Amino acid sequence: MVRPAGAPVLVLVHGNVSSARFFAETMAVLGERWRCVAPDLRGFGRSQRAPVDARRGVRDFSDDLHALLTEAGLLAGGGRVHLLGWSLGGGVALQYAIDHPGTLASLVAESPMSPFGFGGTRDLAGTPCWPDYAGSGGGTASPEMVRRIAAGDRTGDDLASPRRVLLNLYGKPPFPLPPGVEDALVDGMLEMAIGDGNYPGDQVASANWPGTAPGESGVNNAISPKYCDLSGFADAADRPDVLWIRGDEDQIVSDTSLVDLGHLGALGVVPGWPGPGVFPAQPMVGQVRAVLDRYQAGGGRYTEHVLAGCGHSPRLERPGECAAAVTEVLSRAG
């Protein structure tokens, strides 16, 4: 935590295969004006190794966050906090806003996951490609990357190593990081718990392409559209101002995501793809916009800030521009 006396609170929620360490540089800047709190989600970083009940979607994470803020007294007396969620954390932020109206002063969604989960949906309404949601869940993670994380691999030997995933996917390549930061972020990736209860979660076999459907535990199942539907944010009882900030060359949350099996099938990377009429690429950006447009039509307000030539991590790739955009929204919200 960074604690300027009497400053309003800014809570930062990290993404999948990462940790609170990914916010250290951001906290050093924004911590001059806001009291920054960056927790490790369960199973990540140095948090408790409690399993994730995927059948609740991302509510385990939302509940944990609310318990932390309540126990720390940050919501005492009807207090509100600013909430910034990155990637998976953006989904947690939307769930938190649905579950706990009246506790947020503003919401920043940095490269947020789709409100309809990750993988296996075909349109802006989040319609599943298959009835069993095949193509999403624990079986969609790279087995080799999972093995490398479990082994504590800090090398950059090939594309499956956590270091190369960081440098090639988390930002637009080349993704230069300050001295020491790259190693610290790799360490943050390697601290996560591996297994059926955490990352990536369990899976079940499916007769539908690509042959794997979501199980019932672990983080990748929690973000499967089988369990994760955050579209209710559009009708949330409370309507804090929202900043949606993203890079236009994001390779993770994208309509042509390099970790979405629909798009990878179209590229020929995953064999047996049944074609765009059966399993198209998930329109992730369009899905986010559709829900936020509904939010705005119902009386809320959101701003979309797109950074040209930027990837999945605007605050790391373009820290000055990202901090300015966040500061503007937080200051307006009070």
Stretch 29-41: mean pLDDT: 96
Stretch 218-224: mean pLDDT: 98
Classify residue 128 by its DSSP letter: B
- Backbone phi, psi, residue 39, to 5°: -85, 155
Stretch 188-201: mean pLDDT: 98
Model pLDDT, residue 179? 85
- What is the C-alpha to C-alpha distance for residues 246 and 108, in angstroms, rounded to an integer? 11
Residues 133-164, buried b or exposed e (16+ Cβ, 10 A)? Answer: bbbbbbbbbeeebbebbeeebeebeeeebbbb
pLDDT over threshold 60, residue 1: no
Q: Where are the domains of the chain?
A: 9-333
Stretch 126-140: mean pLDDT: 98
Model pLDDT, residue 210? 98
Model pLDDT, residue 6? 80
- Strands 203-205 and 212-214, by their bridges, are antiparallel
Could you tell me which CATH number the domain at 9-333 has?
A: 3.40.50.1820
Model pLDDT, residue 4? 59
Stretch 67-76: mean pLDDT: 96
pLDDT over threshold 80, residue 334: no
- What is the C-alpha to C-alpha distance for residues 9 and 74, in angstroms, rounded to an integer? 8
Neighbours of 194 (CB within 10 A): 16
- Backbone phi, psi, residue 268, to 5°: 85, 10
Model pLDDT, residue 314? 98
Query: Model confidence at 3, in pLDDT bands (50, 70, 90)?
Result: low
pLDDT over threshold 70, residue 323: yes
For the chain, give the mean pLDDT: 96
Instruction: Using DSSP, state whether 24 is helix, strand or coil.
Output: helix
pLDDT over threshold 70, residue 271: yes
Query: Model confidence at 55, in pLDDT bands (50, 70, 90)?
Result: very high
Model pLDDT for residues 229-260, shown as the tens digit of each residue: 999 999 998 999 999 999 999 999 999 999 99
Stretch 195-201: mean pLDDT: 98
Query: Model confidence at 178, in pLDDT bands (50, 70, 90)?
Result: confident
